[in-house]
Amino acid sequence: MISGSMPPERFTRRLGELVGIETPSGEGRGLNNAYDLLETWAGSALGRPERIVSDEVPHLYWRGADPAVPKNNRVLLLGHADTVWPLGTLAENPFTVTETRATGPGVFDMKAGLVLAFEALALAGDVSHVSMIVSGDEERGSTTSRPLVEEAATACGAVLVLEPSEGGALKTSRKGVALYRIGVNGRAAHAGLEPHNGVNALVELAHQVLTISSLADRGRGTTVTPTVGGAGTTTNTVPERAFVDVDVRAWERRELERVERALRALRPQEPGAELAFQGSVNRGPLERGMSVDLLRAARAVAEQLGLTPVAETSVGGGSDGNITASLGVPTLDGLGPDGGGAHARHEWVDLTSVRDRTSLVAGLLADRAT
């Protein structure tokens, strides 16, 4: 099925090189430097990549897949080079290897997954059926890369997402994510002289926040979380405007739709106040039904290669796998190495997990070629 094995020293060296390039979301210079490095690793296996720039954010795309290959056999490898870490973080938290752990900004989410992808491509043999996207704004909700991801995914029969694993388990379900802002328009007045002539936007916001929080459904796993809010200008002025940002997550699309209907139906409680609604579903759920066939294939590959049996899990965070699954394209997520601490300063990768996971991805690529 696959030939050879992954050189662990090369993986670690490459991981250090990639982590050593700071790539905050949307930061073109760092992203392009990282893409230069990835291109050298890819060689000619996937053909010549394109740099797709949208709203000044670059993305790297290997169209790869031979048009003669049936759609059902085509595979899209999906990952992102951007991290949540601002420029300058590397000076405080450099790439470090301690025994079997590698640490550094973005090492787990998800630069190790990108290194692993290229190691797997080298093991898989014929990859004429494989395309690959490395995006530059996944951590910001894929606002500029979404059209590219959707275009590439709809041309393929399967998507393999190199996001990190969860305790070694593949991610077969992810919650969908919706983001909203509820604005309040009131009327300013002097808080001491004539507060009765004002319409207090902050008081109205307080009514709405309690109502918004009540839309959660713990039994269904639906969370509705007011996150960021603001109001007012000075301490002696009745606030004229206020706002609250709301994060909604659910396992089912119908739950996202229920919450959105309820948010749109909010009505002001304070006389004279007005509400404004913004936002939408950012990523639909990755439902298990879109992963189960690929999970079955992964388990067969693991058994054939003598690898650790493949486990599965469900997680609340979203990824670009949500986007591709929502299009009806079979999607398997969490194919990166094991570790922990995503978005935390202590994030780390278990280097002992890399060899098996690389063989698994290579085996899945080889399996889809037939």
List per-residue pLDDT tens for the chain, 370 residues long: 565 666 789 999 999 999 999 999 999 999 999 999 999 999 988 999 999 999 999 999 999 877 889 999 999 999 999 999 999 999 999 999 999 999 999 999 999 999 999 999 999 999 999 999 999 999 998 999 999 999 999 999 999 999 999 999 999 999 999 999 999 999 999 999 999 999 999 999 999 999 999 999 999 999 999 999 999 999 999 999 999 999 999 999 999 999 999 999 999 999 999 999 999 999 999 999 999 999 999 999 999 999 999 999 999 989 999 999 999 999 999 999 999 999 999 999 999 999 999 999 999 999 998 7
How far is the C-alpha of 232 from the C-alpha of 176, rounded, in Å?
A: 33
What topology does CATH give the domain 8-175+285-368?
Aminopeptidase (3.40.630)
CATH class of 176-283: alpha beta
How far is the C-alpha of 204 from the C-alpha of 260, rounded, in Å?
A: 20
Residue 6: per-residue pLDDT: 67
How far is the C-alpha of 86 from the C-alpha of 110, rounded, in Å?
A: 15
For 324, phi and psi rounded to 5 degrees?
-70, -40
Residue 370: per-residue pLDDT: 76
Residue 72: per-residue pLDDT: 93
Residue 94: per-residue pLDDT: 97
3-state SS string for the chain: CCCCCCCHHHHHHHHHHHHCCCCECCCHHHHHHHHHHHHHHHCCCCCCCEEEEECCEEEEEECCCCCCCCHHHCEEEEEECCECCCCCHHHHCCCEEECCEEECCCHHHHHHHHHHHHHHHHHCCCCCCEEEEEECCHHHCCCCCHHHHHHHHHCCCEEEECCCCECCEEEEEECEEEEEEEEEECECCECCCCHHHCECHHHHHHHHHHHHHCCCEHHHCEEEEEEEEEECCCCCECCCEEEEEEEEEECCHHHHHHHHHHHHCCCCCCCCCEEEEEEEEEECCECHHHCHHHHHHHHHHHHHHCCCCCCEEEECCCCHHHHHHHCCCCEEECCCCCEECCCCCCCEEEHHHHHHHHHHHHHHHHHHCC
Domain assignments of the chain as residue spans, ordered by start: 8-175+285-368, 176-283
The whole-angstrom distance between residue 325's C-alpha and the CA centroid of its chain comes to 13
The model carries a pTM of 0.88
Residue 68: per-residue pLDDT: 87
Residue 2: per-residue pLDDT: 63
